[in-house]
Amino acid sequence: MNTRIHRYGAIAASDWTDRFHRRMPLPIDCREVLACQVPTLPQRARAAAERLLKNRPKVRKLIIHYV
């Protein structure tokens, strides 16, 4: 499956909606985390989450590709 989460490694939870602004189901290998939980993530997921938080510092919930 090739989604935006897989491509970028992490996206803001508020961006994971369909065209009617309803939450879409998460892919199997992804999970939702709070911004304060980023330091406890594995290396690749942490790097993607930190990159997202650097660009968008007000994001509080992220969806990460967690493998």
Nearest CA among 38, 40, 33 for reference residue 54: 38
pTM, to two decimals:
0.85
In three-state secondary structure terms, 34 is strand
Question: What does the buried/exposed string (b/e) look like for 4-40 if buried means 16 or more CB atoms within 10 Å of the residue's CB?
Answer: ebeeebbbbbeebeeeeeeeeeeeeebeebebeebee
- Residue-level pLDDT at 60: 96
Please write the tens of the pLDDT for every residue from 12-47.
Answer: 999 998 899 899 999 888 999 999 999 999 999 999
In three-state secondary structure terms, 19 is coil
Judged against a pLDDT cut of 80, whether residue 3 lies above it is answered with no
Judged against a pLDDT cut of 70, whether residue 1 lies above it is answered with no
